[in-house]
Structure 1
Amino acid sequence: MAQAAAIIFTVLMGALAIFQAALIAGAPLGHFAWGGQHRVLPRRLRIGSAVAIALYGLFALILMMRAGLLAPWPDTSWITFASWVILAYLALGVVMNAISRSLPERLTMTPLVVALLVLALVVATA
């Protein structure tokens, strides 16, 4: 179960990374992200999108290791802790998306982040 959850989590993170890359490239999808205030993101939010892509990759890597799909680095003691940090980050993401002033962001990103939270919980508790 944890392995399937980690794979689905990674696929969803990959899709979000593609979305963030589109925002960086200037796609007019900003109403789905960063509070929805800009159709095309300004420079500072494009930098935020680049950081988000890096975090998504790191999160997927950690949960894949936690699920046993990737060989962990030599010291594995931090992987369990890191998976709980990811859970906290996603829980905060649920709240932030749910209170967004952007209706498109609330309607699309909130359920998506809830799904990611549930998948990460399955992996973290396995």
Structure 2
Amino acid sequence: MVQICAYLATAVLCALAVFQVALIIGAPLGHLAWGGQHRVLPPKLRIGSAVSVALYRIFAYVALARAGLVGPLVTGTFTAVSSWVLCAYFAVGALMNGVSRSRLERFVMTPTALVLTSLFLLLSLN
């Protein structure tokens, strides 16, 4: 069960990374991210998307390490604490997306953040 959660979390994070890369290269999907105020992201938000891609990679590693699918680069305690921090991070993200002015962001990103919250909760409880 824990391994399935890690794989699912990694898959969702990879999908989000692909989405963020699309935003970086100028895809007109900005209404789904960063408050939904720009159809095509301005340069500063594209930098934010690049940072997001890097963070998603770290988040996926934490999920896989928590499930024992990859060796932890640091102590197991750090991985355990990180999974709880990410659970809280995605819960806050769900709240933030839930109050977005962008209707599409609310309906797409809020459930995505809730799924990641649930998966990281299950990983944290392992």
Question: TM-score normalized by structure 1?
Answer: 0.97
Q: Following the alignment from structure 1 to structure 2, what is the Cα–Cα distance between the partners of residues 112 and 75?
A: 29
Judged with a 3 Å threshold, the aligned counterparts in structure 2 of structure 1 residues 30 and 82 are, in CA distance, closer, same or farther, namely: same
Who is 1:5 aligned against? 5
Deviation at 1:73, TM superposition (A): 2.1
Who is 1:84 aligned against? 84
Question: Does residue 36 of structure 2 align to residue 36 of structure 1?
Answer: yes
How does 1:1-126 map onto structure 2 within 5 Å?
1-126=1-126
Q: Following the alignment from structure 1 to structure 2, what is the Cα–Cα distance between the partners of residues 23 and 30?
A: 7
Unaligned runs of 5+ in 1: none
Cα deviation 1:38-94 (Å, max 9, x = unaligned): 000000100000011111110010111011111112532211111111111101100
Q: How many residues align?
A: 126
SS at match of 1:51: helix
SS at match of 1:93: helix
Residue identity in the other structure for 1:47: I
Unaligned runs of 5+ in 2: none
Which aligned segments of 4 or more residues in structure 1 are displaced greater than 4 angstroms? none
Judged with a 3 Å threshold, the aligned counterparts in structure 2 of structure 1 residues 97 and 74 are, in CA distance, closer, same or farther, namely: closer
Identical columns (%):
52
Deviation at 1:29, TM superposition (A): 0.2
Q: Following the alignment from structure 1 to structure 2, what is the Cα–Cα distance between the partners of residues 103 and 55?
A: 25
Judged with a 3 Å threshold, the aligned counterparts in structure 2 of structure 1 residues 74 and 41 are, in CA distance, closer, same or farther, namely: closer
RMSD of Structure 2 on Structure 1 (CA): 0.8
Residue identity in the other structure for 2:9: F
SS at match of 1:100: coil
Q: Following the alignment from structure 2 to structure 1, what is the Cα–Cα distance between the partners of residues 73 and 46?
A: 31
